[in-house]
Structure 1
Amino acid sequence: MRRVLLLSLMLTGLLAGCAGGPPEPARPAPAALPPAEGNQRLAGVCPETVVIQDVWEPDANQAAEYQLIGPGYTIDADHKRVSGPLVVGGKDTGVKVEVRSGGAAIGFGTVPAQMYLDRSITLGSVHGDLAIATSANQPVTAVVAPLNKSPMSLMWDPATHPDWRGVADIGRSGAKVVVAKDSFYAPLLVAKGLIKADQVDTGYTGAPARFVADPSIAQQGYPTSEPYIYEHEVPSWGKPVSYQLLADVGYNIYPQGLSVRTGDLESLSGCLARLVPIIQRAQVDYLNNSGPTNELLVEVVNRYNSGWTYSRGVADYAAKMLRDLRIVTNDRGGALGGMDPARVQSMIDTMAPVLTRTGATVKPGLRAADVATNRFIDPAIRLSH
């Protein structure tokens, strides 16, 4: 959705489903990992394999999940999954982790829908606005938020629009705003009066061709990828772009919160009490030393060969921007991965009417505790900026 033509990805996904063949053989670890101890030991408490369903293709926005994967991992290119021992600080927790790609791998469906279709999924990566939109029929509750704010932005060509400083300037200009179909943030920007409804163009495909051919437009993008890609990996462009984070203009969701089916919250509580702090620690460890996980991300993408591409240059740039833009940072309560209940409620109050107008069925009387909980967060795990 960010970089590669969606139709190409969809076709690739369909072809991959017919490919068959066994997954890549498991790689033996160079040496037996020392066992984790105490509350970091998950054997007997968590499922034998903790399955995490991603929202999209592998990239640094999902790095905390890939940071959990230890040596001896297996890449299943046919099913777009990678699995291995679930580790923390180089120690084996006694269970496995399996990270599954979204996008074409799940027919471009939503993560909540996939979670209710496949009960083997332990955690799903769910945007806060989607959790609100599915709250009536496919309720999920976020238990940790590796990203503190959305990396979604609107981007533009600073040479064509030297007077633009942000989304409000785009709105005043009347320029087309090219976004993905069914995005929830576009109706929000319209409702807030930042852009006009007739500016919204839902023809975004992820390919750079339209932006290159017509730099008068504004376009959705991720500052963890597009600025680097357009300047260094799109020869027909080869120069900087400007952008503003939508989080800075009221799109205050917690993105990609790792969530459980709400009805499973209690049955998984023993596991989550140990697993959530490990996920918090994984995100901190990634930001402090992103190289090994970035290598894994690039390897996985290359092995999947799905049409999605991801270079080491993009991955390293993304790790820096996650920190510099405070997309990953400690929440208001102090912990990395925590979710401020007041902010979640504000998100519900803001987004529920917008989502209802788009046809979503929001649970009546939805409250912050329905879609997010800090019950399992370790307040001592923080990122030092």
Structure 2
Amino acid sequence: MNKRNTTIFSAIALVSLTILSACGGSDSAATDTTAGATTATGVSLVDVCPATIVVQTDWFPESEHGGLYQLMSDDAVASKDTGAVSGSLVVNGEPAGVKLEIRAGGPFLESPVVTEMYQDNAITFGYVGTDVAITRYNDAPTLAVFNALNINPQVLLWDATKHPEATTIADAAKTIKSFYVYGDPAWMRYFESQGLIEKGQVDSNYKGNLLLSTEDAAHQGFATSEPYKYANLESGAITTGYQLIHDAGWNSYAQNLAIRKDRLEELRPCLENIVPIFQQAQLDYIADPTRANAIILSTVATYDSWWTQSEGDVANGAASQKELGIVGNGETPTFGDLEEARVNDFIAKATPILREQGLEIADIAAGDITDNEFLDTSITYQG
């Protein structure tokens, strides 16, 4: 599946007044005392945030972006020409006084997300994975302030009927000749260095097709997508086996909402208010994705490209994020934080791999590319 930035892969809390969390039937509440002036609904981003909050995503609209679409108004307008959808930013369905614009990535981008962030000052947030933040720190440093997906949903998958004993990538590599990936992902080099797979088994010419229907191989994909698509093939269902690249050791955070590091002080008043909103919206989406999924489907239809999504695709994507633990707390009860120990561990394992690829990688630590100070620590995922 030709998704996102495959070289390596959000939201409503409370501002001033108490808002009930919709996640998991929880009736707990959280309060953010740093909010700006309140509207009739109790939430206002006027005077603290840009008039239009622009989020540059890494791919077409999909369920993994659901927390963002939870904040989009029902009267949102999408443009096929620009690959963007915009409308009022809503909290619990009520306008918060600013606009929200969600820009698609993939073919709509002429350059990587981070590059776009530095070329276009209108972009408030961009999707920047930890690995990308490390790679681009020297020339375009970013600061992740919220993570919607605790676990990267990216996987390597295979036909489980043909390889019933394979439960891990290392198992699959014993009997599968070819592993198809896009280009030269650092995580595959890492797996090679750990002895999970041999270099000669890696084919960098994956085209994004559901090739298990025609070939006995393995390919990269997403646990939230391809298993469902294979199970619903018109030509006959295929049961897939897979392992998350996270579980195989490449524990990068994916799809972090990040800002340009040089805009931290400029955006600080906005971050103090909107980051908790991002936290809660992701939880609200997982609790009930119906409204946001409808906006996703409508937007995809307007873009009218080769990328399609069905009601089943987005419903499965949201459900899978919950069932597989893609969305959840990490080692702390705070939802959406980027854990220092995990980030530092990842930096230590990724740096030599990235340098091996000929990249100039700075000597950095978690605090250089992540900032948890704007999170509401009382917002937690309760399943």
Q: Same fold by TM-score, threshold 0.5 exceeded?
A: yes
Distance 1:231 1:288 in 2: 24
Distance 2:347 2:89 in 1: 34
Q: Which of 134, 138, 159 is the matching residue for 2:140?
A: 138
Paired with 1:380 and 1:134, the residues of 2 have a C-alpha distance of 32
Which residue is 2:59 aligned to? 56
Deviations 1:73-117 (A, max 9, x none): 11112111001111111221110110000000003x321111112
User: Across the two proteins, how many residue pairs are aligned to each other?
Assistant: 350
Compare relative contact order (CA 8 Å, sep 6+) and give the higher one, 1 or 2: 2
**Equivalent AA in structure 2 for residue 287 of structure 1:** I
Equivalent-residue separation in structure 2 for 1:88 and 1:146 (angstroms): 17
Q: Say yes or no: does 1:47 pair with 2:45.
A: no
Q: Is the 8 A contact 2:89 2:97 kept in 1?
A: yes
- List gaps (5 residues or longer) in structure 2: 7-38
Q: Is the 8 A contact 2:333 2:381 kept in 1?
A: no
TM-score by length of 1: 0.88
1:382 corresponds to which residue?
A: 380
Deviation string 1:249-301 (CA, Å, 9 cap, x unpaired) is 11111100000011111211110010100000110110111111111111111
Counterpart of 1:383, as a letter, is Y
Equivalence for 1:217: 217
Task: State the 1:317 CA deviation.
Answer: 0.7
Q: Is 2:368 aligned against 1:370? A: yes
Matched, 1:166 2:171: no
1:247 aligned to 2:246? yes
> Is this contact kept in 1: 2:334–2:380, CA < 8 A?
yes
Structure 1 residue aligned with 2:94: 91
Tell whether the 8 Å contact from 1:174 to 1:196 is kept in structure 2 after alignment. no
Structure 1 unpaired stretches of 5+ = 7-33
| Alpha-carbon distance change, 330 to 229 in structure 1, aligned in 2, over 3 angstroms | same
Give the TM-score normalised by the residue count of structure 2: 0.88
Q: Which residue of 1 aligns with 2:73?
A: 70
| Cα shift at 1:174 | 5.5
Q: Cα RMSD over matched residues?
A: 1.6
Partner SS state of residue 173, structure 1: coil
Aligned with 1:83: secondary structure? Answer: strand
Q: Report matched runs for 1:252-271 at 5 Å.
A: 252-271=251-270
Q: Which amino acid aligns with 2:338?
A: M
Equivalent positions of 1:302-313 (< 5 A) are 302-313=301-312
Q: 1:80 to 1:353 in 2, by over 3 A?
A: same
Structure 1 counterpart of 2:154, from 152, 161, 168: 152
Give the drift of 1:2: 3.7
The CA distance in 2 between the partners of 1:321 and 1:204, in whole Å, is: 24
- 2:192 paired residue number: 190
Local SS of the residue matching 1:219: strand
**Residues 35 and 94, structure 1, Cα contact 8 Å, conserved in 2:** no
Alignment correspondent of 2:9: none
Letter aligned with residue 66 of structure 2? A
Q: 2:135 and 2:142 mapped to 1: Cα distance? A: 10
**Which has the larger helix fraction?**
1
